[in-house]
Structure 1
Amino acid sequence: MGQLFAIGEVLIDFIPLQKGSPLKDVQAFERAAGGAPANVAASVAKLGGNASMLTKLGKDAFGDYLIEQLAHTGVRTDLIRRTDEANTGLAFVSLREDGERDFSFYRSPSADLLLSEDEIDPGIFGTNDILHFGSVDLVESPMKQAHLKAIHAVKSQGGLISFDPNVRLPLWHSPEECRRTIQDFIPVAHLIKISEDELEFITGITSKKEAIASLFQGDVLAVVYTRGKEGAELYLSADEKYKGRGFNVKVQDTTGAGDAFVGGFLYKLLETGAAQDNIIEVLRVHHDEILEFANASGAWTTAGKGAIPALPSQADVHKLIEMQSNKGMMTNV
């Protein structure tokens, strides 16, 4: 079984103790380990896979906490660098009554943006490995160049590249800079995960079918279009589509749900030995199983608070699949 390498931000999410208040009115928070790539790595590890994090943290208490939390989930942390040139990133979150979120980020820059290409060792990657990244750490920084080096190294070994744009506009100078950067990185990935509220923004195309078709450029082999509780659709071309059902659970917090979906999806790819030369065949044969597992992983996470603390084990995922298959109704997990 190959290994998942996630590159990018690891940070502290400060989650409000109450829902329904704007961030300015929140009086108390609880901390949780987060950052989209870290969430994906933790998801894969908690499901039983091998996962490593490529990032940099501050030499501060928050960095110590994140190392402990990642290690606790089973993520390898020996490749994480530390620095005293910047602090570990922070994100303050406010929760609406429906569990959706607003963010306020503190990084100018944070330590993760200081990881340089010289700190990426190409020799760590193998044929059946997967590199996953998002857009948050693609702002102009040493970390952007570190992404490019890691992507090239994994590709040269025959491994897979997974990209979840995970749009966070407050972290960019302008929406156009965010859109342009995401568009620049889409062609270098083999697998694109995109949500229904990101598709038109990223592509600039209102027609769903045409927008998804436009993503098949460069090295892109598959697109996963997620629709929250409505499930997800897997595209192997603009005309070859497979659907996966959603799971109806009582939502507490949607933080990390998309990352848990990605983690479940990538775990199944690792389990089936997917690589550049066989991923299309793997997805055609196993699409039902992979989509069901990924959707259940994402749904389970929304029933808890925070991202990493709420991630499911493999037993949790199978429990939810069995419960919903038997009951066909909203499930309290």
Structure 2
Amino acid sequence: MKKGVYEMKKYDIIALGETLIDFTPAGSSPAGMLLFERNPGGAPVNMLVCAANMGCRTGFIGKIGADMQGRFLEETIRSAGVDTGGLVITDDFFTTLAFVTIDEQGERSFSFARKPGADTQLDVNELNMDMVQNTGIFHIGSLSMTDEPARNAALTAVETAKKAGATISYDPNYRPLLWKDASEAQKQIRSLLPYVDVIKISDEECAITTGCADYRKAAQILRNQGISCVVVTLGDKGAYISAGQGECEADSFPVSAVVDTTGAGDAFWGAFLACVSKSGKRVGELSLEDLHAYGSFACAAASLCVQKRGGIPAMPDRESVEALCGYTI
């Protein structure tokens, strides 16, 4: 049963941002040509699908093309239990595509078809304000800040959700190829920080987000800016959490073989936010023990994710996460 500060909202978690197709290597043809597998994804929707799998009421706000890839994404997201009432479909722009290469350790590099992609063309007048104003947690990523008109739409949505009492979640998700230059990325990524209550950054994103590469110092910088809870993901080393209640580290779970790291951070964050939502508490009200348990639960979700291919298809189910970490939400 829902309780606490989120119980009167229609949605537990709403995210605004990109949904796209990840084309990942899938062997070679008889002629020796590289084959790619079509995987539905995009950081915000990956996160939402994971949260939906954990039992949260989720919804997505974004824009796709009226093309075969966009229709595939729409059906996939809806089938995964995410409300698509905020998804806009346009005839004017193609759905964004990402071509991914994966090395022997499962790490990725990207090439994007986004000049422009439909996700960058979400207009403020196309926002589903009912969804924006009726969620316990509102999540945003920085890729919505790379271009107008999506930048203005994203800022308007964040401001509106904040005024309506939502907890603001942020994932910078820095992708250098999608920005004009590092200076512009730094400016826009940091522009959202004054609104944020809880943030997830990777250790590699500390410098672009704060100017400091040391993750502990970077977390403190963000805390000093008024962010209640800072979570730094450390790859196979787990995660570091800094909040007003103190700091702690959650260990990762052993993985016999990493297949694909796509979506691991999104699985982590979907699981973490699901814990926050189901607690019924504001982030600042959570105990350090709560935060450590949520971090461990999220690490379990990430470890299950990397053992499968793709973004959305790799998001774990609640039962598997709970069985792995021994914590029930």
**Would the TM-score normalized by the shorter structure come out above 0.5?**
yes
Q: 1:127 to 1:69 in 2, by over 3 A?
A: closer
Seq. identity, %: 35
Partner Cα distance (2:214, 2:268) in 1: 25
Q: 1:106 to 1:125 in 2, by over 3 A?
A: closer
Q: TM-score, normalised by structure 1?
A: 0.89
Matched, 1:241 2:247: yes
Counterpart selection for 1:42 from 30, 49, 55: 49
Partner Cα distance (2:179, 2:188) in 1: 10
Give the conservation status (yes or no) of the 8 Å contact 2:86–2:128.
Answer: no
**What residue is the counterpart of 1:290 in the other structure?**
294
Partner Cα distance (1:127, 1:216) in 2: 27
Q: 1:285 to 1:322 in 2, by over 3 A?
A: closer
Q: 1:127 to 1:54 in 2, by over 3 A?
A: closer
**What residue is the counterpart of 1:110 in the other structure?**
117
Q: Secondary structure at the match of 2:34?
A: coil
Amino acid paired to 1:247: F
Q: TM-score, normalised by structure 2?
A: 0.90
Q: How far is the alpha carbon of 1:189 from its aligned partner?
A: 0.9
The correspondence of residues 1-333 of structure 1 with structure 2, limited to 5 A, is: 1=2, 2-18=11-27, 27-125=34-132, 129-237=136-244, 240-249=246-255, 250-274=257-281, 278-322=282-326
Q: State the Cα deviation string for residues 77-119 of structure 1 (Å, max 9, x = none).
A: 1221110110000000000000000100001111111111112
Q: How far is the alpha carbon of 1:127 from its aligned partner?
A: 6.7
Give the conservation status (yes or no) of the 8 Å contact 1:187–1:217.
Answer: no
Partner Cα distance (1:306, 1:124) in 2: 27
Q: How far is the alpha carbon of 1:211 from its aligned partner?
A: 2.1
Give the conservation status (yes or no) of the 8 Å contact 2:61–2:85.
Answer: no
Give the conservation status (yes or no) of the 8 Å contact 2:25–2:36.
Answer: yes
* Stretches of structure 2 lacking an aligned partner (at least 5 in a row): 3-10
Q: 1:219 to 1:125 in 2, by over 3 A?
A: farther
Give the conservation status (yes or no) of the 8 Å contact 1:26–1:94.
Answer: no
Partner Cα distance (1:78, 1:128) in 2: 13
Q: 1:116 to 1:210 in 2, by over 3 A?
A: same
Aligned residues: 314
Give the conservation status (yes or no) of the 8 Å contact 1:188–1:218.
Answer: no
Q: How far is the alpha carbon of 1:310 from its aligned partner?
A: 0.8
Q: How far is the alpha carbon of 1:126 from its aligned partner?
A: 5.1
